[in-house]
Amino acid sequence: MPPSPQRSGDPEAGYRYLLYGDVVRSGIPLELLRSLLGENADDLGREGDSKGLPYMFNAVEAPNGVKVAAPTCLTCHAERLNGQLIIGLGNNTSDYTRSAPSPLFDRAVEMRYGKNSPEWTAYWPFSRSQKALALYIRTAVRGPNPADKIFAALAAHRRADDLMWLDSAQFQLPIEVVPTDVPAWWLLKKKNALYYNALGRGDFARLSSASAMLTLTDTAEARRVDAYMPDVIAWIRTLQPPKYPYPIDSVLAAQGRVVFEKNCSKCHGTYGEKPSYPNRVVELSHIGTDPLLAQSYQKYPEYHTWYNRSWFAQGPHKGELRPTNGYIAPPLDGIWATAPYLHNGSVPTVADLLQSTQRPRYWRRSFDNSDYDPTRLGWQYRAEDKPTSSDTYDTTLPGYSNSGHTFGDRLSDEERRAVIEYLKTL
Ligand code: HEC
Ligand code: HEC
């Protein structure tokens, strides 16, 4: 994947925009949410109206001036590990298995303010999107994220040129959800294309501004959000992976580096003093991991066709969606912290990833972020004979397979142990 030109930005301004900004400009009236939730300690130390608000909401002014709590990027791009909140670590515990739109909020807003109120007007675009999305974003198991379908479903409800909302969808979407594990933001600085199938080309800031599609009113608003996004991307590029917090056997790790550079570097690059990263997309036929994500763009071209005709794909800083027939080999910086593994989060530990025959077909974790396994690198889990609930990851479902990436199988047990030790240092 060759690089494409990027706008530059101011990282500090980008961080401020993440914590206070209005990518989404509709939501639950602030006063109502506060009375439902009380004060929350997880407010990232923010001031003003966002003080005491959970970190996945920003206090913003809707176009009509009503203050609302609007969901942010950190809903999906922040997560706890061993008790600590890490911004940029993908959320791996969210539960989209029961994602019905909440009639509770509709009722609460209506009861408190009435449907002719400015509060209802400020809330409505958010509620309307939730309803349009609900059918398409229900995952079969807890953990994976349906973001790909969120964007496709929003595109179906917006005119490509002026981004105005359409009550009925202009193209059909398959109901099946493509499950993805949210990638760590600290990897972005090495990448020449965004997303697992290297779909996102052109200006990364423009591509990322698509989140505003949830509630924006028109292209003037899209332009406003787009102007802040280079700062957000600049901040994301400053992120470093968290360091492995347990002891490392440095002799074994040094042996592992040799094995890694021989067997893995041609796809995943080299690390340390002079790092290199090849930005290599590996064809489905070679990688063998679950094909649904890559294939869904071949089978249903409506979304990327829409995007490439839309406002987002115009001008000197345009975004472009160009599907490939494979997956990018990701950088492995901070890999210890980003379990579960593969683009669909189907493998609970690095040890299992590197020995494909021992990967569990059905596995269950506690979803307690301190249940970390420092030896196998990943989640403590229990293999099951059959799924006991949607907390069990079921690799027999379409999109959820744990097949492929058998490159670790040819290593000896000793070599695998050494590679795992080396991966802890990245
Ligand atoms: C509903 C969850 C969700 C929200 C909200 C969200 N993202 Fe993401 N994001 C994802 C998922 C899932 C992916 C991976 C999708 C894929 O590769 O197919 C992703 C991918 C990305 C990537 C590409 C990373 C890479 O390595 O390829 C960037 C950059 C990004 N998001 C930025 C943002 C920004 C900035 C916001 C807020 C304006 C945001 N995201 C909001 C879920 C979300
Ligand atoms: C032919 C290229 C190739 C080789 C060789 C290769 N990998 Fe990979 N690797 C990939 C691709 C592509 C993916 C992403 C697959 C997916 O998500 O479906 C991946 C994914 C991974 C992941 C999971 C990343 C994540 O965030 O989920 C790890 C860990 C990994 N590889 C380690 C290794 C190690 C260790 C070796 C050497 C023993 C190796 N790989 C050899 C291409 C390769």
- pLDDT of 64 over the 80 cut: yes
Q: Which residues of 83-99 are buried (b: 16+ CB within 10 A; e: fewer)?
A: eeebbbbbbbebebeeb
Mean of pLDDT values over 229-236: 98
Is the pLDDT confidence value at 120 over 80?
Answer: yes
Ligand 1 pocket check for 196: Cβ under 6 Å: yes
Closest-CA residue, ligand 1 atom 28, reads: 208
| pLDDT higher than threshold 80 for residue 103 | no
With 0-12 / 13-18 / 19 or more C-beta atoms within 10 angstroms meaning exposed / middle / buried, residue 35 is exposed
pLDDT at 101: 64
pLDDT at position 135: 85
| Average pLDDT of the chain to the nearest whole number | 96
Poorest-confidence range of 144-148, 173-177, 261-265, 339-343?
Answer: 173-177
pLDDT reading at 313 higher than 80: yes
Ligand 2 atom nearest the C-alpha of 289 is: 18
As a whole number of angstroms, the distance between CA 155 and CA 171 comes to: 9
pLDDT of 99 higher than 70: no
Is ligand 1 within 6 A of the CB of residue 150? yes
- Alpha-carbon span 251 to 176, nearest angstrom: 47
pLDDT at 203 over 80: yes
Asked if residues 87 and 74 have their Cβ atoms less than 8 Å apart, the reply is yes
Is the pLDDT confidence value at 314 over 90? yes
290 Cα nearest atom in ligand 2: 18
Q: How would residue 328 be classed by pLDDT, with cut points 50, 70 and 90? A: very high
- Mutate-to-test residue for ligand 2 from 181, 190, 197, 264, highest number of ligand atoms within 8 A of CB: 264
The CA distance from 382 to 386, in Å, is: 11
CA of 388 to the centre of ligand 1 (A): 30
> Mean pLDDT over residues 221-245, rounded?
97
Residue 18 clears pLDDT 80, i.e. is over it: yes
| Predicted local distance difference test score (pLDDT) of residue 41 | 79
Residue 410 predicted with pLDDT over 90: yes
pLDDT at 16 exceeding the cut of 90: yes
Q: Retrieve residue 300's tokens.
A: 């249903």
Q: How buried is residue 122: exposed, middle or buried, by Cβ count under 10 Å (0-12/13-18/19+)? A: buried
Residue to mutate, 182, 270, 405, ligand 2, most ligand atoms under 8 Å from C-beta:
405
Q: What is the pLDDT of residue 112?
A: 96
Provide the pLDDT confidence category of residue 370 given band limits of 50, 70 and 90: very high
Residue 127 in this model has a pLDDT that exceeds 90: yes
- Report whether residue 330 contacts ligand 2, using a CB cutoff of 6 Å: yes
Lowest mean per-residue pLDDT among 31-35, 237-241, 250-254, 422-426: 31-35
Q: How confident is the model at residue 322 (pLDDT cuts 50, 70, 90)?
A: very high
**Looking at the predicted structure, is the pLDDT value of residue 39 above 90?**
no
Return the closest-CA partner of residue 229 out of 11, 412, 388, 41.
11
User: Residue length, the chain?
Assistant: 426
- Residue bearing the bigger pLDDT, 135 or 88: 88
Mean pLDDT of 166-174: 92
Instruction: Locate 264 and state its tokens.
Output: 């893995």
Q: At 265, is the pLDDT very low, low, confident or very high (cuts 50, 70, 90)?
A: very high
Q: How far away, in angstroms, is 182 Cα from ligand 1 center?
A: 7
In the predicted model, is pLDDT for residue 100 greater than 80?
no
Residue 102 clears pLDDT 90, i.e. is over it = no
Report the pLDDT averaged over residues 215-232: 96
Atom of ligand 1 nearest to the CA of 232: 35
Which pLDDT does position 210 carry in this prediction?
94
What mean pLDDT do residues 101-128 have?
92
As a whole number, mean pLDDT of residues 4-14 equals: 97
Pocket mutation for ligand 1, best pick of 211, 236, 297, 303 (most atoms within 8 Å of C-beta): 211
Compute the distance from residue 329 Cα to the ligand 2 centre, in Å.
Answer: 6
Q: How far is the CA of 130 from the centre of ligand 1 (A)?
A: 18
Q: Give yes or no for residue 98 having a pLDDT over 90.
A: no
- Whether residue 163 contacts residue 209, with contact meaning beta carbons closer than 8 Å, is answered with no
**Residues 260-280: what's their mean pLDDT?**
97
- For position 284, what pLDDT does the model report? 98
